[in-house]
Amino acid sequence: MECKAHKLVADIAVISEGHILMVQYRDTTRYDGQTGWFLPDDFLENLEHPDDAAVRIGKSQLGLDVSSARLGFIESFGDGAWHLIFHYRADPVRRPAVRKGDNVVAMEWFDLRSLPPPAEVAHHGWCLDTVERLLKAGG
């Protein structure tokens, strides 16, 4: 049964060689119908630790082992439900080969100096703020 009061989400910023990997989803129903660019993300499964969710997202959506990813920060806000977003960051030395997961319709490495405009990013450019905050926190 889906909880309507809480939304637990993890995302993963894969940053390598001055680029960041973003995705677009085929079925957007779990993403508020948003069709723009996202950091790869998903809801936590029942009793799943956020660290495990980040690894699952990397494997299932990107075909990557991101077990070395670290938690950058946690975001909390209300929007009809209380959202807790666990923002992870992985920094492979070289850009790894990636493979689109079943629900990923597009995947692209963006230069950190030339990110897509907010109008092309889901939720009014929300992940751009997340990326900026992760970069300021350092690696």
33 vs 87, which has greater pLDDT? 87
Spell out the domains of the chain, with CATH numbers in brackets: 6-137 (3.90.79.10)
Mean pLDDT of 62-91: 91
Q: What is the pTM of this model?
A: 0.92
Read off the amino acid at residue 48.
E
Read out DSSP for 101-123? -TTEEEEEEEETTSPPPGGGBHH
pLDDT for position 80? 77
Mean pLDDT of the chain: 91
DSSP conformational letter for 97:
P
Please name which of 114, 99, 118 lies closest in space to residue 20, comparing C-alpha atoms: 114
